[in-house]
Amino acid sequence: MPFDGAGSWAPVALSSDLPPGTVIPAWTSTGSIALWRSQSGRASASSDRCPHRGMRLSHGFVRGEALSCIYHGWSYSPSGGCIRIPAHPDLVPPETIRVAVQRVEEAGGVLWVAIGQPAAQPPQLDELIPLRSLTVEADVAAIEDAAGAEIDANGLIRPPEFPWIALLLAPQEKHTLLHLMVEPDHSPADRLTASRITESLRRAAEERQRERAE
């Protein structure tokens, strides 16, 4: 399956959902991450646990070019090293205090996080416009069934009745993250229609998932 193992890319969020100076929780097959963007616009992915007391860094805050824990304010650079401990302002934190990080690339309005060491760049979906992300309480197989199409090598499903709609899937721990994308030569009204179609597909996929569980 695309984006589900070492040497692959996971489409964890849309670029528009991560403005400068923000952090959000995200997930890949390696576990939970804190996805954040510095004030200068650089996107980074850090392990979602502060080494100090285990607080989730996705609950923290971004100041300048660093991600800070909301508990005691320990700050980390995009490379993962601790650069500031507020309780000891004169201390240079040892290099052993750090969080694990994963490579992040932006392509086609999507934030991609590397799983391991991918041999290639993430898919360039420049022919598509990202609209929104939805959480589907179903697995990829149920979504394929509801859409009447199979996922391709780029992680996309194109419903045969609406080939101008593309659904970019990111399997999660207990659900699937779905990024709705459309071809660029469609009107705002078409984009609203695409959103309604995707909502209906989500309900159908979740119904299929429930039926399979019974």
pLDDT at 5: 67
CATH architecture entry for 8-115: 3-layer Sandwich (2.102)
Q: Which of 2-11, 43-52, 200-209 has the lowest mean pLDDT?
A: 2-11
Name the token pair of 127: 């022919």
Interval 31-70: pLDDT, tens: 999 999 999 999 999 999 999 989 999 999 999 999 999 9
Q: What is the mean pLDDT of residues 11-17?
A: 97
pLDDT at 137: 97
d(CA 92, CA 173) in angstroms, rounded, equals: 37
Interval 76-89: pLDDT, tens: 999 999 999 999 99
d(CA 159, CA 7) in angstroms, rounded, equals: 28
Task: Categorize the per-residue pLDDT at 1 as very low, low, confident or very high, splitting at 50, 70 and 90.
Answer: very low
d(CA 21, CA 41) in angstroms, rounded, equals: 8
pLDDT score of 2 more than 60:
no
Q: What is the mean pLDDT of residues 81-105?
A: 95
Interval 116-131: pLDDT, tens: 999 899 999 989 999 9
For residue 31, the SS3 value is strand
Q: How is the beta sheet containing 82-84 ordered, strand by strand?
A: 61-63, 66-68, 75-76, 82-84
pLDDT score of 73 more than 50:
yes
Interval 135-188: pLDDT, tens: 999 999 999 999 999 999 999 999 999 999 999 999 988 899 999 999 999 999
Confirm if 170 and 176 have CB atoms less than 8 A apart: yes
Tell me how far CA of residue 121 lies from CA of 1, 69, 114, 159, 161, in angstroms: 17, 31, 9, 26, 30
Please state the domain extents for the chain: 8-115, 129-213
CATH architecture entry for 129-213: 2-Layer Sandwich (3.30)
153, amino acid identity: A
Q: What is the mean pLDDT of residues 8-18?
A: 97
pLDDT at 15: 98
